[in-house]
């Protein structure tokens, strides 16, 4: 009950200060270290000892109760009469980073627990913090240091870290990670996907050293309102710090000092950067310094927005000539683990004539994003909210929101990323609409400078050739992604040219998937499935169709290279590969590659 006018004023002012505070709170409350590349660190990559444990009996006893002396204790036989039924040191080895499925034949189909162990010496520096940083592990990681649990992480494609300051010895530390990639109905992604469930510590692991008071997070970008100023914030680890923060961009003659208030320093400075674009992927060295810490990053500046059905980059309409890419290694299969592999994929996309890539269906490595940015690709980045996840389960939502937050937190300073996608081909229902609209709100709260999208496959056909986009999610996104497989999952290739699209929303549409399967080197009649000729025909007729869509702002056909999938059983043709690549897994282009290339060159 409000007793007086004074109280009412007080309540309003408290509410108001919450509102304005939360508007400024675009940073993530507990982010991992930013731009790990530029931090002082040592690598824990290389060969790790592993134990394959399908029954998880390194964790549970025969009563299915957690064991006190699980594998994480790394127990050793001390005298001949001892019974210890495991030994990391005489067991298998796997390379980190890397998935286990493609490293060991017996793990090809494996889904379950593998224990990883790595020993190391480390001399902690006086007055420094030490973080154990994982770029990614799929899917659930339980992490133990010297026998003690230090934390866990869920989600296969985003980084996580643990503060291990004071926990390391100079000699013989042992780090044990239980990695479990069992699919679960309530997980993100759920049990049913069209890509290989590669398990393991799939990206690099580092021990990172920072000062005690370190720069925890930052955002530096062009102001939304004006391309003549750069703004952002720097968050310090000491949340009560009022220290000076210096932001320096030498090439732009920017050198500004701001005072942090409660650990956060906001800034806005005048500057006239040469704007980042596919034709001018200009990055500036940004240095952030405090009394205790310094970090530098290569940052590009650009604006991205929509106007009716157009996407405007730096105020000019741009057509996104794209291609979808899975994080699958060229030539070897398995997960991409090196910069060279990223560059092979990106150079193929360049050769195709692309200015845009859809990094499907989960956040790709930071290396992939950074290399793509240097090459001038605009990027669509997404989380694996894919197909029929449990939309009415609050924990599933929390998991999705966390993966979204971790993706945005890692990549918010990448000018190349213009689209955050919250979902792919999700079936319409009230709980799905609520789930996804909440995710779009979360994106806006974290990053209001980029466009939000989702790939939809719900189109209604009024007449035979009509396709109407009226998915309620259209309300919440800025750009509508449409996955459409005319000529493959429905309709003959020739029928596609007659399809007519209508849009309920005055928003741009990207055809986020379109394509057909072909076994590279298989030739035949244009009506014969799996031939390069059939795939090529699907591309030709779909291109005709796309030329007639006046609200089409881009396209990212499915997909650059053939990729492994548990759903693709047809022996002699698929052999566990989704064959919709424009290039085979061995790096050989199919006919349709040149058809799309021609379309892009003429566009
Ligand atoms: C889709 C999915 C994609 C699949 C593709 C296919 O719509 O979004 O993940 O791989 O179709 O090949 O069926």
From 15-19, 296-300, 506-510, 554-558, the region with the lowest mean pLDDT = 15-19
pLDDT at residue 5 above 70? no
Which residue's CA is the nearest one to ligand 1's atom 13? Answer: 194
Instruction: Give residue 313's pLDDT.
Output: 97
| Amino acid 333: pLDDT | 86
Distances (CA, A) of 167 to 120, 149, 187, 264, 373: 13, 11, 32, 29, 37
Quick one: pLDDT at residue 27?
Answer: 67
Closest CA to 440 of 428, 426, 456, 454: 454
Task: Categorize the per-residue pLDDT at 513 as very low, low, confident or very high, splitting at 50, 70 and 90.
Answer: very high
Could you read off the pLDDT of 311-340 as tens digits, one per residue? 999 999 999 999 999 999 999 889 999 999
Prediction pTM value: 0.95
Q: Is 578 in the pocket of ligand 1 (CB under 6 A)?
A: yes
Q: Is 194 in the pocket of ligand 1 (CB under 6 A)?
A: yes
Helices (H) and strands (E) in the chain, counts: 7, 33
Give the 3-state secondary structure of residue 436: helix
Q: Which pLDDT value is given to residue 83?
A: 96
Q: Is the CB of 425 under 6 A from ligand 1?
A: yes
Residue 26: what pLDDT?
63
Q: Is 541 left (phi over 0), alpha (psi -120 to 50) or beta?
A: alpha
Q: Is the pLDDT of residue 91 over 60?
A: yes
- Contact 134/160 with Cβ under 8 angstroms? yes
The rounded mean pLDDT for the chain is 94
Nearest to 324 by CA among 68, 583, 595: 583
| pLDDT tens per residue across span 286-310 | 999 999 999 999 999 999 999 999 9
Cα of 194 from ligand 1 centre, angstroms? 6
Give helix 430-446 / helix 394-411 axis angle, nearest 10°: 30
* Euclidean distance between CA atoms 603 and 594, whole angstroms: 14
Which tens digits make up the pLDDT trace of 189-229?
Answer: 999 999 999 999 999 999 999 999 999 999 999 998 888 99
Question: What confidence score (pLDDT) does residue 31 get?
Answer: 85
Instruction: Give per-residue pLDDT as tens, 139-153.
Output: 999 999 999 999 999
Residue 421 Cβ inside 6 Å of ligand 1? The answer reads no
Residues whose CB falls within 8 Å of the CB of residue 54, separated by 6 or more in sequence, listed in order: 110, 112, 113
Indicate whether residue 382 lines ligand 1 (CB < 6 A).
Answer: no
Pocket test for ligand 1, best of 383, 558, 565, 566 (most atoms within 8 A of CB): 558
Q: Is the CB of 580 within 6 Å of ligand 1?
A: yes
Q: What's the Cα-to-Cα distance from 52 to each of 89, 114, 277, rounded to whole Å? A: 13, 5, 47
Place of tokens 């731009």: 35
pLDDT in tens, 518-577: 999 999 999 999 999 999 999 999 999 999 999 999 999 999 999 999 999 999 999 999
User: Virtual CA dihedral for 543, 545, 550, 551, nearest 10 degrees?
Assistant: -80
Distance CA 603, CA 601 (A): 6
- Tell me, in angstroms, the distance from the centre of ligand 1 to residue 444's CA: 27
pLDDT at 16 > cutoff 90: no
The tens digit of pLDDT for each residue in 419-462 reads: 999 999 999 999 999 999 999 999 999 999 999 999 998 777 76
Question: Is there an atom of ligand 1 within 6 Å of 35 CB?
Answer: no
328 lines ligand 1 (CB under 6 A): no
**Percent of the chain residues past pLDDT 70, beyond the cut:** 95
Q: Is the CB of 410 under 6 A from ligand 1?
A: no
Predicted confidence (pLDDT) per residue in 364-383, tens digit = 999 999 999 999 999 999 99
CA–CA distances in Å: residue 75 to residues 44, 92, 141, 237, 533:
22, 17, 20, 37, 60
* pLDDT above 50 (res 25): no
pLDDT at 275 over 80: yes
Q: What is the pLDDT of residue 198?
A: 98
């Amino acid at each position: 009950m409000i007793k007086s006018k004074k109280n009412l004023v007080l309540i309003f002012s408290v509410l108001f200060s919450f509102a304005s505070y939360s508007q400024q709170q675009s940073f993530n409350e507990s982010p991992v270290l930013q731009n790990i590349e530029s931090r002082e660190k040592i690598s824990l990559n290389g060969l790790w000892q592993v134990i394959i444990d399908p029954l998880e009996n390194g964790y549970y006893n025969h009563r299915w109760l957690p064991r006190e002396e699980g594998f994480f204790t790394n127990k050793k036989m001390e005298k001949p009469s001892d019974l210890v039924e495991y030994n990391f040191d005489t067991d298998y080895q796997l390379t980190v980073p890397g998935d286990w499925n493609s490293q060991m034949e017996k793990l090809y189909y494996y889904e379950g627990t593998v224990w990883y162990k790595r020993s190391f010496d480390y001399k902690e520096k006086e007055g420094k913090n030490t973080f154990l940083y994982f770029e990614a592990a799929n899917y659930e990681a339980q992490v133990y240091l010297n026998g003690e649990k230090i934390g866990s992480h869920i989600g296969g494609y985003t980084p996580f870290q643990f503060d291990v300051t004071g926990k390391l010895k100079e000699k013989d530390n042992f780090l044990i990670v239980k990695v479990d990639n069992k699919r679960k109905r309530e997980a993100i992604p759920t049990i049913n996907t069209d890509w290989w469930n590669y398990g393991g510590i799939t990206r690099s692991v580092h021990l990172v050293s920072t000062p005690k008071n370190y720069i925890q997070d930052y955002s530096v970008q062009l102001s939304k309102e004006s391309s003549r100023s750069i703004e952002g914030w720097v968050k310090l680890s000491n949340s009560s710090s009022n220290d000076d923060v210096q932001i320096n961009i030498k090439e732009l003659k920017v050198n500004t000092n701001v005072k942090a208030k409660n650990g956060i320093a906001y800034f806005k400075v005048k500057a006239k950067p040469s704007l980042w674009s596919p034709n001018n992927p200009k990055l500036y060295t940004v240095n952030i310094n405090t009394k205790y810490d310094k970090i530098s990053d290569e940052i590009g500046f650009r604006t991205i927005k929509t106007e009716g059905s157009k996407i405007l980059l730096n105020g000019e309409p741009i057509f996104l000539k794209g291609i979808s890419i899975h994080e699958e290694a060229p030539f070897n299969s398995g997960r991409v683990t090196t910069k060279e592999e990223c560059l092979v994929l990106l150079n193929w996309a360049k050769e195709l004539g692309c200015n845009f890539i859809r990094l499907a269906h989960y956040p790709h490595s930071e290396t992939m994003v950074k290399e793509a940015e240097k090459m001038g690709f605009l990027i669509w980045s997404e989380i694996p909210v894919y197909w029929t996840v449990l939309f009415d389960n609050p924990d599933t939502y929390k998991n999705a929101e966390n993966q979204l937050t971790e993706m945005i937190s890692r990549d918010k300073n990448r000018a190349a990323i213009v689209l955050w996608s919250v979902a792919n081909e999700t079936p319409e229902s009230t709980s799905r609409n609520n789930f996804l609209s909440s995710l779009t709100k979360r994106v806006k709260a974290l990053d209001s400078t980029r466009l939000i999208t989702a790939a939809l496959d719900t189109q209604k056909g009024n007449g035979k050739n009509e396709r109407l986009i009226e998915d309620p999610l259209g309300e919440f996104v800025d750009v509508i992604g449409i996955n459409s497989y005319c000529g493959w999952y429905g309709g003959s290739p020739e029928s596609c040219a007659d399809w007519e699209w209508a849009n309920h929303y005055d928003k741009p549409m990207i055809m986020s998937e379109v394509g057909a399967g072909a076994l590279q080197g298989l030739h035949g009649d244009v009506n014969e499935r799996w031939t390069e000729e059939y795939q090529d025909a699907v591309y030709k007729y779909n291109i005709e169709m796309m030329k007639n869509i006046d609200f089409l702002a881009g396209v990212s056909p499915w997909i650059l290279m053939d990729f492994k999938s548990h759903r693709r059983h047809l022996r002699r043709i698929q052999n566990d590969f989704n064959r919709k690549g424009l290039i085979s897994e061995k790096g050989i282009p199919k006919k349709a590659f040149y058809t799309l290339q021609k379309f892009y060159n003429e566009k």
